Amino acid sequence: RGERERRTREENERERERRRTENENKRTRERTRERERRREREREREGENEREREGENEREREGENERGEQERKREGVREKGEREREENERNENERKREREEEREGEQVRARTRERERE
């Protein structure tokens, strides 16, 4: 009787661990998909920005933009710095998310190894 209960507990624990691992894998896949969606949206924004820049360049060539040359240069430098800061921030946030996901995965693997030792 005690042996049967022990086996049942072990089977239940294995099933719980299997579900935990399965859920962690689902979360990891979803985070990966979300990261890809974010990257795709960023690529689309970059394309829109490029088209916008091309349009601005065209208007400047046509003489529609009458601002002084120095003002355009200053604004371009400012905008470029702003874009670079935003890009750096996005990249840093992405790296932080990836490090956190790796830590979470390592914790799950460590728990799994610990249970296997038991």
- Ranking 11-15, 18-22, 75-79 by mean pLDDT, the lowest is 75-79
Own/partner pairs for 78-87, CB < 8 Å, 24+ apart? 83/49
- Say if residue 65's pLDDT is above 60: no
Q: Does residue 73 come out as left (phi exceeding 0), alpha (psi in the -120 to 50 range) or beta? A: alpha
| Number of domains forming the structure of the chain | 1
Nearest to 112 by CA among 40, 4, 23: 23
At 61, which helix (H) or strand (E)? helix 2-61
Instruction: For residue 107, give its domain range.
Output: 2-117
pLDDT at 66 over 70: no
pLDDT of 115 = 86
Residues with Cβ within 8 Å of residue 115, at least 6 apart in sequence:
13, 17
Q: Give the three-class secondary structure for 118.
A: coil
Mean pLDDT of the chain: 88
pLDDT given for residue 55 in this prediction:
82
pLDDT > 90: percent of the chain = 53
Q: What is the pLDDT of residue 35?
A: 93
Position 48 confidence tier, pLDDT thresholds 50, 70, 90: confident
pLDDT at 102: 92
CA atoms of 105 and 64, how far apart (whole Å): 56
- Predicted model pTM: 0.40
